[in-house]
Structure 1
Amino acid sequence: MTLLEALAQADAALALTDLAQRVGLPLPTTHRLLTTLERRRFVQFDGEQGRWSIGVRAFIVGNAFLPRRNLMRAAMPVLRRLMEESGETTNLAVESGGEAVFLAHVECRDMMRASSRPGSRVALYCSGVGKALLSAMSAEEVTRVLHERGLNRITPTTIDTPEKMAAELERIRRQGFAYDDQEHAKGVRCVAAPVFDDAGRPLAAISLSGPSARITDERVPVLGQQVALAARHVTGDLGGQP
């Protein structure tokens, strides 16, 4: 990684000795690592000049991050506004490896709050963000995820059968938002909605979460509409479509 960073920051291609000095590695080690990276096309070597530069594979990987960076830029103002409107902590998550991964959150000001640390993961089937993402997937994708991950009961309210999950996802599609009623953690409720890309695929999910004592049954429909509107704003800002 240090080698790639050094090459990316350089104004021109670098000789082996220059690169080794920049990263503080012995010449043999530097050459061995570069050779490995070259085989994967992360770096390229100019035999005539005897110099190394960043490769096409590094560009492809870096370019893949751009949509997520744009997502964060579009979502953060919306998360802040949603927190102010609802008084609850707001979150942004994406699907990765059959789980929901939290990218960012805006914590509410109340001492009692529910918070998911950026980088933390949660199962799709038992979380608000996860069910929002599942509701926007194709039937084949949902079946694959549930088959690979299972439906293990975590709390008394966790949905634990494919039939119940199918009915739940249909309800989410009809009402426009997902509701996690203490299905992942007792005492915590979450309301979420999906964000779509320009092909209508689920790109992310926005949620708000808080203690069940504050997110009451009466508040859920109102909070659901707020979250759904926030998700639509982010979708629109990114040029997406439901």
Structure 2
Amino acid sequence: MVREGSSIDKALAVLEAVAERHRLTDIAAAAGVSKSTAHRILQSLVEWGFARPDGSGGYEPGPRILTLAARAMNRFDPARQAAAALRALHDRTGYTTHLAIRNGDEAVYVEKLEGRRPYQMTSRVGMSLCLHSTAIGKAILAQLGDEEVLGIAARTRLEPRTPNTITSDEDLLAHLAGVRARGYAVDDEENEPGVRCVAAPVFDHTGRVIGGISVSALALDASREDLEALGPEVVAAAREASQALGAPLTVRS
């Protein structure tokens, strides 16, 4: 099917196709343009350095794409990119919302919006989070392979934070399977007594999990059922944040 639209639309479609395909026929098909149009656009992209011949009769991304990507990544701020999704979730729920980014065997809060409740959460930007005992942490772990999860568990020793903390490898893996199936994780007073949270994973432009978004409340203000009911909203917010970070639309969150 030939793509309708401006010459700019067609050029961008061809540029995107070059990132994943190299044969002219495949590039044209993916971009939805004729082979002659694709060839003409590719010649311009080569002249500008956005594409180059791959030595086998096809094309590959050119050095100028890498230069622009590097410049963009240097200015990339996950908190700023995800701000709209976090704010919308905060406004809809009225609870405290967080964005945390994974940092090795832990996660770190990079944004917090205090809820419209008669209390304040003790969390703060810059605070580190255990992965096995927090909702955001478990949302992250659920997107990793079992071997990587067990490596983290061995290094952190699954230290108990409260009587509800998961402290065995077997229980953790079984729990994460449920998180993966639901799309969100719940911290039912597992990290801090009297605090409950629900979280969903956030992905970057490569489709790799980099952190999570959460809603937090005091246990006396929100039951586990209350937070479970917010799960789909948190998943939707995390998906919106992931898309703002350039995550592929096929990523499951």
TM-score, shorter chain, exceeding 0.5: yes
* 5+ residue gaps, structure 1: 1-60
> What are the residue-to-residue correspondences of 1:106-117 with 2, within 5 Å?
106-117=113-124
Q: What is the CA-CA distance between 1:236 and the residue it aligns to?
A: 1.5
Distance 1:217 1:73, change over 3 A: same
- Among 169, 188, 203, the residue aligned to 1:162: 169
> What are the residue-to-residue correspondences of 1:171-182 with 2, within 5 Å?
171-182=178-189
Q: How far apart are the structure 2 equivalents of 1:66 and 1:140?
A: 33
Q: How far apart are the structure 1 equivalents of 2:116 and 2:146?
A: 39
Q: How far apart are the structure 1 equivalents of 2:148 and 2:128?
A: 19
> Which residue type is aligned with residue 200 of structure 2?
A
Q: How far apart are the structure 2 equivalents of 1:173 and 1:184?
A: 20
CA contact (8 A) 1:124 1:131 kept: yes
Give the equivalent residue in structure 1 for 2:107. 100
CA contact (8 A) 2:198 2:228 kept: no
Give the equivalent residue in structure 1 for 2:193. 186
Give the equivalent residue in structure 1 for 2:91. 84
Q: How far apart are the structure 2 equivalents of 1:107 and 1:65?
A: 29
> What are the residue-to-residue correspondences of 1:142-161 with 2, within 5 Å?
142-161=149-168
Asked if 1:134 is matched to 2:141, the reply is yes
Give the equivalent residue in structure 2 for 1:236. 243
Q: How far apart are the structure 2 equivalents of 1:205 and 1:82?
A: 13
Give the equivalent residue in structure 2 for 1:46. none
Give the TM-score of the pair, scaled to structure 1.
0.70
SS of structure 2 residue aligned to 1:73: helix
- Among 200, 203, 207, the residue aligned to 2:210: 203
Q: How far apart are the structure 1 equivalents of 2:128 and 2:71?
A: 23
Matched-pair identity in %: 37
SS of structure 1 residue aligned to 2:121: coil
4+ long deviations beyond 4 Å:
61-65
CA contact (8 A) 1:113 1:211 kept: no
Give the equivalent residue in structure 1 for 2:17. none
> Which residue type is aligned with residue 146 of structure 1?
A
CA contact (8 A) 1:93 1:104 kept: yes
Q: What is the CA-CA distance between 1:87 and the residue it aligns to?
A: 1.2
